[in-house]
Structure 1
């Protein structure tokens, strides 16, 4: 059974090593980041390890809104993902030349299968049994970070704004951090006042799924597929007309909402390349529109996540945000591919130290909460 944060937690200081693990909405692999937080945040090692193909196919199939699964399959998938996360943790430590005894804790986000924070029975479900991770690695593992915030009336997402603010906020200018994973989310960090954050809609998830279906490739390398087409303005307008985009923060979403079925219901005979180009423009348009609306004085947009490697997406963001410096976390000494994994390492540290990990101004929760469950080594 998981241990509450207030009981039996190992001694923790702000020093030491922490390992963050996450498989994002795109389910393209498990990111591992070995992090030290003193004297400043340092990602000492970062690598993405592929999910076994059969496991990824099952995750992608089950993340669709109408997918069904038996209780037996639920249990097996949770265990198999836990085994995969444990194997990645051990391999990452070996590749980094670090022994398990030197790691204070693992912060594991797991793999989101469903996220529905609204209604009379809100929930957010991540798979990847943390007991399996703790047992196989011999390292205290903190996991299940979202559900306490949901229980407190929040969305349980996004959780990264607290980490972004801790490492990237400036007293000299209004900044925003943009995470371009399967879903895009913004962390708004004014020079003074509350940090806010929310999901803006699809980032890579729809583009990846469309590219896989039509090109057999997991993602659109160098935006080659999208560059073959042109933006279909009628399709873009139909996509932007979804009421979700007009909702005010706090708000969050996932693959169960923005997936190929959602796209197909709005198609009208466009070529596959034109659809890909339009999906890229959709990501840029929804991010830029949300930033202009919610932080019109933003001076700097700092991007991270897999989407920073899509040159067309980055170009379209800059074009839609004149007067805003658009850059990546690399300009601040942080590898953009491993910010989110580092963030879950940071959340594990906060949990073990008895500090809240959520921001009510972001998630809408009733107050600060210590997040996650501790699974002792």
Structure 2
């Protein structure tokens, strides 16, 4: 659908206002605790945590660049850096519902087809989950006694978390790479859906699956790039996992590095699996549960908020600036176009 210049300008201004409103709402309600913690954090500690956050974001940019460059060689590390931040921003302001669509749109603006953008998004998630599973297995082997002592059936829960991640990876790869699975999906959906509208949706989804399969196969053919992307995901997680130790070692000089890293690895693995009471997030609940025995509940909550700043709030803020600057640029360009028409 084509819009007149005036209508596009109005829609962009309205969208800009909505985005500003969502930012204010999210910062005031959802992220206020993190901002409060930052206000009471010492300058050197805050700089250190910010450094870790930026390094992990740059590694993520390198990861995305290596995937996306298979389809657009001009895609840069900074494009990947902002792609991750852009997706995080929309994950926050849409409460988790719009991040995938936003990320695919970002890739589309950088010259990738929709199927290729979807493939980059899927591959990023798949390889990240594989890296999480491998780190969890490593630390489960090294520190399983600590986990079992802190959480009843803790080993079982971590294995369940790994199993859930493995299932997600397997399903994504099955429908993305296996033509027979795709054909079976079409047969089943054709039997279930009888109306033309639903069948058209199935046909569109089938075409996207076909394109996605080609996109992912293109990536997997380059074994060197696959290994590079996997190792960069492992490196990003290693940076993330060092953050709690860096925070806690400022006050607890004799804290065990390996134990701290193992606990945050288990937290990331269990965060999306263990039921969370009281309406708080699964990650936050598991983090406090594991770390409070080591340093006490108050310090556990404090370090958790700083960790969330480095891995969640910081990318959100980068993405926010990116979105606002680009939206303002679009509005200025459209105002010039309106003036030219007069």
Q: TM-score range with shorter-chain normalisation?
A: under 0.3
Q: Which has the larger radius of gyration?
A: 2
Of structures 1 and 2, the one with the larger relative CO (CA 8 A, separation 6+) is 2
More helix by share: 2
More strand by share: 1
